[in-house]
Structure 1
Amino acid sequence: MSIPHNPVLLQEVLQSFSVPLVVENGGILIDCTVGYGGHSKALLEKYPKLRIIGIDQDEGAIAYTFNHLKDFKDRFEVKLGRFSEVLPNIWRDDIVGILADIGVSSVQFDDKQRGFCFDSHLLDMRMNPHHTLSAKEIVNTYSLPQLERIFRDFGEIREWKKLAHLIVDFRKQEKIVCASALSGLIAKHFKNTKIHPATLAFQALRIEVNDELGELERMLKFLQEKSFQKGARVGIISFHSLEDRIVKTAFKGWERSCICPKEVMKCVCGNNYKKGKNLYKKPLSATKEEIKNNPRSRSAKLRVFEFGN
């Protein structure tokens, strides 16, 4: 059975967790976005002592991965739910790795029944179909200021006011019920020579629907408050600047020894808060060969933090 989703930066992920805690001692790694099991399977194959707990909120992905990795049932288990909710319930002292591949999988994006793609007859975008908020509800019920906020903050769209007004004016005459209608409306009034004109608007809607940035921030806050063994690592793959900025800021903060406010003239915190270091000075990105084989990897960035001074 082939994996329906190509895991990005696979070799970079394998190399990033090649530490004694994983290779020799066989600790536990949490794959916070296990998806269709691409990263987890490769890690389990390369490191025979490693155990993995996978988390995902997509029931379809969970079912597939549970079956796909059945040969590793003694070293692999999977949990259904948001990683910010599951992590506190499964936390253990022998966790030596955290991996999170943030974003939509190719399977979700290409499945027209999920309402992520531009030509879908649905407008949904829920990673967990059981959640109540959908993209259709947002575009048809959010107020003008609410739409402006998500297009400005989550899409970083230059003409966010124009886009929000366009949607509000259009829905007065006709409800927007499918992704193809929305993408067509946007393409009619906006031009972009590099990407589809609706790309950033769809990104903003998807982030709002799934609270993606909030999930990431909650996970990082949880990890910040935990104690890790020396050598344990956290690796996060992001796909756009909003996510990467959050990860970069968090990791930079974890490197700080002094956490006093900038306005304080003299350190009063004890100057002993450094948790470790960024493993790489700059995030790892896909090679030309990987981008050629998987164009969606072109925007992927991997940042890795290693605990221990």
Structure 2
Amino acid sequence: MKIPHIPVLLEQVLESFNTDLAQRGGVLVDCTLGFGGHSEALLKAYPKLKIIGIDQDKNAIHFSLSRLKDFGERFESRFGRYSEVLGQLLRQDEMRQNLVGILADIGVSSLQFDDRERGFCFDSEQLDMRMNQERILDAKEIVNHYSLSQLEQIFRDFGEIREYKKLARLIVDSRKVQKFTSSKMLSDLIAKHFKHPKIHPATLAFQALRIAVNDELGELERLLYEIRENPLPDGARLSIISFHSLEDRLVKLAFKEWEKKCICDDGTMLCTCGNNHQKGKNLYKKPLCATESEVRTNPRSRSAKLRCFEFNRENK
């Protein structure tokens, strides 16, 4: 089988789950299955481990089921948004107690990015960007019909674009003449009016639209909420790979909150909460990043960051 994807931070992911729990067996949930690269490596590294892979892209599930068929009952897939499927799993007491880890590789996968029919890349003749093609909202709807203020908010909040007002106005004025029909049409327009010394001028705009179409930050927030409400067993770990500061900030703040023993208001003079609310510990003071050799082999890994949290009931 031809494998068209290199999973990012693979060695770091394997090390983040190198625990007695994983060695003995149990269940690990791969929230973002994609091509199955991380899942395959984990199944090989930990022979007693079972993995449940989640994806909202049926093409990804079909590919991974074929790729991982030799692992038999050690692998199973679930279709849907990872926050919803994981939430269902975590509310099953027996399942939650058997969990040894959760992995989430946030963002668009190479499966989607490299498929020109999906509209994620700059030269695509489509303007789509849906990870789940059964959903209604796509990038074409946003670009052609969202108001000026809505576009400004998307480019400001999700793309962190300095000239977000200029970009939104450019799109609104241009669509009065001709509606946008392709990603290429949009990226060509942006490249004509904006410059960037290191990346394609449309990179941040496409990032912002993709996040808006797929509600990526909302999905990550819901994932963290489900885990906060249903903490994992002793020694179980949560590893999250993010690709830009917005995602990483959410993970960092969540881990910081989960490490707190006291949850009283900052202005409280005397602790009244019991001082026993710590869910575990953040394993890495700084996120793990790709090595120089990995970046040379897989340039998309250059912005990847991995954070890992280990749960410990004794600290609660």
TM-score strictly above 0.5: yes
Letter in structure 2 aligned against 1:283: P
Counterparts of 1:250-269 in structure 2, within 5 Å, are 250-269=254-273
Corresponding residue SS for 1:172: helix
- Which residue matches 1:8? 8
Q: How many residue pairs are counted as aligned between the two chains? A: 308
CA distance in structure 2 between the partners assigned to 1:177 and 1:265 by the alignment = 60
- Which residue matches 1:128? 132
| Between structures 1 and 2, the one with greater helix share | 2
Corresponding residue SS for 1:267: coil
Superposed displacement of residue 140, structure 1: 0.5
CA distance in structure 2 between the partners assigned to 1:182 and 1:194 by the alignment = 19
4+ long deviations beyond 4 Å: none
Letter in structure 2 aligned against 1:113: E
Superposed displacement of residue 260, structure 1: 1.2
- Which residue matches 2:168? 164
Say whether residues 1:77 and 2:83 are aligned partners. Answer: no
- Which residue matches 2:196? 192
CA distance in structure 2 between the partners assigned to 1:250 and 1:73 by the alignment = 35
CA distance in structure 2 between the partners assigned to 1:233 and 1:2 by the alignment = 31
- For residues 35-69 of structure 1, the C-alpha deviation after alignment (integer angstroms, 9 at most, x for no partner) is 11000000000101101000000100100100110
Superposed displacement of residue 27, structure 1: 1.1
- Which residue matches 1:296? 300
Superposed displacement of residue 268, structure 1: 1.5
Letter in structure 1 aligned against 2:39: S
CA distance in structure 2 between the partners assigned to 1:82 and 1:215 by the alignment = 8
- Which residue matches 1:41? 40
Say whether residues 1:66 and 2:65 are aligned partners. Answer: yes
- For residues 194-231 of structure 1, the C-alpha deviation after alignment (integer angstroms, 9 at most, x for no partner) is 11110000000000000000000000010001132211
- Which residue matches 2:52? 53
> Is the contact made by 2:34 and 2:111 (CA closer than 8 Å) also made in structure 1?
no
1:307 aligned to which of 304, 311, 314:
311
> Aligned residues: percent identity?
67
CA distance in structure 1 between the partners assigned to 2:232 and 2:133 by the alignment = 34
CA distance in structure 2 between the partners assigned to 1:199 and 1:18 by the alignment = 35
Counterparts of 1:95-106 in structure 2, within 5 Å, are 95-106=99-110
- Which residue matches 1:206? 210
Letter in structure 2 aligned against 1:288: E
Counterparts of 1:268-283 in structure 2, within 5 Å, are 268-283=272-287
Superposed displacement of residue 137, structure 1: 0.3
CA distance in structure 2 between the partners assigned to 1:125 and 1:69 by the alignment = 27
Superposed displacement of residue 263, structure 1: 2.1
CA distance in structure 2 between the partners assigned to 1:227 and 1:243 by the alignment = 21
Corresponding residue SS for 2:177: coil
CA distance in structure 2 between the partners assigned to 1:58 and 1:43 by the alignment = 21
Structure 1 stretch 42-51 or stretch 226-235: which is displaced more? 226-235
- Which residue matches 2:226? 222
Say whether residues 1:110 and 2:121 are aligned partners. Answer: no
Superposed displacement of residue 3, structure 1: 2.1
CA distance in structure 1 between the partners assigned to 2:171 and 2:6 by the alignment = 35
Superposed displacement of residue 240, structure 1: 0.5
Superposed displacement of residue 267, structure 1: 1.4
CA distance in structure 1 between the partners assigned to 2:66 and 2:114 by the alignment = 22
- Which residue matches 1:28? 27
- For residues 230-281 of structure 1, the C-alpha deviation after alignment (integer angstroms, 9 at most, x for no partner) is 1110000000010000000000100001111212222121111001111111
> Is the contact made by 2:290 and 2:301 (CA closer than 8 Å) also made in structure 1?
yes
Structure 1 stretch 222-231 or stretch 63-72: which is displaced more? 222-231
Letter in structure 2 aligned against 1:230: D
Letter in structure 2 aligned against 1:209: V
Corresponding residue SS for 1:97: strand
Superposed displacement of residue 19, structure 1: 0.3
TM-score scaled to structure 2, two decimals?
A: 0.96
